[in-house]
Structure 1
Amino acid sequence: MAAEDRHADDLADAEPQVRVRHLNKRDLNRTWEFIKAVFREVNRSTVEYQRPKSKKRFLEVFDEKGIEQLLFVIRLGGKERIVGYAECALTIIGTDNWMNERYFRARDMRPLFVEELAVDPEFQGRGLGTFVLEQLEHLARLRGCTHLVLEVAENNDNALKFYRGRSFTKLDAAIFLAKKVVSDPEILPPRRLKRRDPKARTSAGVVAVTAPSEPKDMPPEG
């Protein structure tokens, strides 16, 4: 193993500092590859195949106004590595989204809609998923929102357990409602993760949510 690889592994086993930043154009391709890789892990343990939006739609989102795209990154071996991605908006986006905005208005809810959330399975159980959710709640407070709303497939047991353990409650067949947001800078400061548990399995417990897919635009996996 090369010295740089050993250095990277040492950092991963220690307490890496996760930094949050906004997605920029040069991040698009590697972020898309990251999202695909996360969903491949999710699909190892689910009956029904789950997928993120198409790459075409992912690239279109970058140019749309009103959508926040956040990257969670660490530095390993002198290089930046993506370990998390979150996408959210104040309004329901997408042409095939079935959510009914009147439902939320009638209940005086002002949601921040989480359209995509993906966390590197290698960092599962070390506080990364919690940090991502805290960042989203933080944004919701700053935007005057009262709730986080996201979609989770019924068969994604690991994700459901994760969200229920953080006060999300069920609204409908696949929609979950976060604990009410309590109303500081927009981006939270960096955070160190826990040391890796040598007994932990890194291929299970992936956290991922997605908006409804557009199957005809999906590129082949590879």
Structure 2
Amino acid sequence: MIRKRNSSKDDAAIVRLTQSELLPFTRLTRPEAEVKLPDLQKRFALGKTYVAESGAQAVAGFVSLQVSGTNLFVDMLAVDSKFHGRGLGTLLMQRAEEYGRSKKCRLSSLYVDRVNQKAISFYQNKGYETTRYLPKLGVQLMQKRL
């Protein structure tokens, strides 16, 4: 089930997922990178965050979004590795793109760590294309028309 984030109920799990599923890739190009709850909460305040539940695990994944004009920005997407291959990432992306369309967005953009080939393939399978590489950050900008 996909639902809106509940800060008091979900944020500790979201920090854990960010640290275990996203940060290891980021640290390959930026070893100093850290994840702290107050920083994430500031990012979440800029848009919407949805979580995926799976059975007894209240937060098996999440997606954080921001809208600027007609552009949807997928800030972060993470799914607990125990749940990879079960379609939760796809459901989260579908919800993200639905939200973008409801806000009249015409383009969806996201950054993905260049070394995270599994994520790059995931986004390519969803119709995203690499449009730019930012070597200083070690990330690719991927975009898709909505």
Which category describes the TM-score, using the shorter chain as reference length?
Answer: 0.7 to 0.9
Identity over aligned pairs, percent:
20
**Cα deviation 1:128-181 (Å, max 9, x = unaligned):** 211111111111111100121000111111111111122111121010102x21
Question: Structure 1 residue 53: deviation in Å?
Answer: 4.6
Indicate conservation of the 8 Å contact 1:35/1:52, yes or no. Answer: no
Q: Give the whole-Å Cα distance in 2 for the aligned partners of 1:168 and 1:129.
A: 14
From 71, 77, 89, give the equivalent of 2:51: 71
Query: 1:182-221 counterparts in 2 under 5 A?
Result: none
Query: 1:1-222 counterparts in 2 under 5 A?
Result: 19-26=1-8, 27-39=10-22, 42-43=24-25, 47-48=28-29, 53-62=35-44, 64=45, 66-76=46-56, 80-91=57-68, 110-173=70-133, 174-178=140-144, 180-181=145-146
Q: Which amino acid aligns with 2:101?
A: R
Question: Structure 1 residue 52: deviation in Å?
Answer: 6.4
Indicate conservation of the 8 Å contact 2:49/2:63, yes or no. Answer: yes
* Structure 1, gaps ≥5 residues long: 1-18, 92-108, 182-222
Of structures 1 and 2, the one scoring higher in RCO (CA 8 A, sep 6+) is: 1
Other-structure match for 2:136: none
Q: Which amino acid aligns with 1:125?
A: G
Q: Give the whole-Å Cα distance in 2 for the aligned partners of 1:85 and 1:162.
A: 15
Q: Give the whole-Å Cα distance in 2 for the aligned partners of 1:116 and 1:74.
A: 19
Aligned with 2:55: secondary structure? Answer: strand
Q: Give the whole-Å Cα distance in 2 for the aligned partners of 1:52 and 1:135.
A: 27
Indicate conservation of the 8 Å contact 1:69/1:87, yes or no. Answer: yes
Query: Root-mean-square deviation (CA), in Å?
Result: 2.3
Tell me which protein shows more helix as a share of its residues.
2
TM-score (norm 1): 0.55
Q: Mark the CA change 1:158 to 1:49 in structure 2 (over 3 Å): closer, same or farther.
A: farther
Aligned with 1:145: secondary structure? Answer: coil
Q: Which amino acid aligns with 2:107?
A: H
TM-score (norm 2): 0.81
* Structure 2, gaps ≥5 residues long: 134-139
The structure with more radius of gyration: 1
Tell me which protein shows more strand as a share of its residues.
2
Q: Give the whole-Å Cα distance in 1 for the aligned partners of 2:90 and 2:141.
A: 19
Question: Structure 1 residue 121: deviation in Å?
Answer: 1.3
| Count of paired positions | 137
Question: Structure 1 residue 48: deviation in Å?
Answer: 3.3
Question: Structure 1 residue 24: deviation in Å?
Answer: 1.8
Q: Give the whole-Å Cα distance in 2 for the aligned partners of 1:52 and 1:171.
A: 27
